[in-house]
Amino acid sequence: MSTEAQIAYRNELLAHGLLHATDVDGLYARSGVFEDIALGIAALVSRNGAAEKPEVMRFPPGMTRGTLERSGYLRSFPQLAGTIHAFAGGDPEHAALLATLDRGEDWTSGQKATGIAFTPAACYPAYPIVAKRGPLPADGALLDVQSWCFRHEPSLDPARQQLFRQHEHVRIGTAEQVLAFREQWLQRGRAIIESLGVPFDVDVANDPFFGRAGRMLAANQRDQALKFELLVAITSKEKPTACCSFNYHQDHLGHAFGLRTADGATAHTACVGFGLERITLALLRYHGFDPKAWPDAVRRALWG
């Protein structure tokens, strides 16, 4: 449930024309000002990883349904997943759809699932692409990826949108390679947000696993420090918002997608994700709704 502070901040963003609401909670149009900030953040993240020359991949908001199934996401987060359905009938079914629509009733029963699912995490569609290439080179693989992502959690909290962008760097290789990568990006992530003049904390975290078994998975994830989050108090100091995450998947995704190291072992993976909308919202909260009046150092970090 959204808090009064979250709703109040949302109303401010709407009043300044930075976001435009729709009839669905958590689904927004973004203004040109909002987009300029988000694109500046994405460019800043890419610049920080450019020295290692990662392979760049940009994805649409949909990926194959098979990729979603193989990732294990449905086992852990069925409440967040979404699939794309489409009309699959002929003339009689179309006539029935129109009649239902005219009556103001639910017309979606005639739709069937397509082979496309909404992407829940930007790195997922990259893994089958890399796996098809065969064993990794000795130094593994390094990717700079970005995607629109979907998670079904309607909310009036502007930082909890149903469609949003993740900009990630992804490492695939040995356990030693990916753990070194995550540590490197923990430091880089701190430096990036510091350069934007936004106060934050970093803490061990867990994903919102579903159900009773999910509570055990969450505890295990925290105990092994597999996930860290960079937290910003956008609307609440007591419940700050995760704007960046630093994740070590161990060999889970390596097994799921058949990722192999140069010596044939199952590869490990790690990713660091920057929430472009959330960091934008943090900047607007701490520096005001007019980027032209922001501190010069912040403007240089984003736009040079």
Chain segment 66-100, per-residue pLDDT in tens: 999 999 999 999 999 999 999 999 999 999 999 99
Q: What is the pLDDT of residues 146-158, one digit of tens each?
A: 999 999 999 999 9
φ and ψ of 16, to 5 deg: -85, 0
Same domain for 241 and 183 = yes
In sequence order, the 6+-apart residues with CB closer than 8 A to the CB of 128 are 64, 67, 70, 257
Query: 186-194, long-range: CB within 8 Å, 24+ apart, which pairs?
Result: 186/228, 186/246, 186/272, 188/48, 188/49, 188/272, 189/230, 189/244, 189/246, 189/272, 189/274, 190/230, 191/48, 192/44, 192/45, 192/48, 192/274, 193/230, 193/232, 193/243, 193/244, 193/279
Alpha helices, DSSP H, located in 106-149: 126-131
The boundaries of the domain holding residue 175 are: 4-82+120-303
Q: Report the CATH number that the domain containing residue 236 is assigned in CATH.
A: 3.30.930.10
Same domain for 232 and 266 = yes
Q: What is the pLDDT of residue 2?
A: 77
| 112 has a pLDDT exceeding 70 | yes
| 219 has a pLDDT exceeding 90 | no
End position of a domain, from candidates 117, 139, 162: 117
Same domain for 196 and 92 = no
How many domains, the chain?
A: 2
**Model confidence band, residue 223 (pLDDT cutoffs 50, 70, 90):** low
Same domain for 108 and 14 = no
Q: What is the pLDDT of residue 215?
A: 72
Same domain for 197 and 111 = no
Same domain for 189 and 91 = no
Same domain for 257 and 112 = no
Q: What is the pLDDT of residue 214?
A: 62
End position of a domain, from candidates 117, 135, 160: 117
Q: What is the pLDDT of residue 255?
A: 97
Same domain for 248 and 182 = yes
**Paired strand residues for 172:** 141, 269
| 111 has a pLDDT exceeding 90 | yes
Same domain for 297 and 159 = yes
Same domain for 243 and 113 = no
Same domain for 263 and 222 = yes
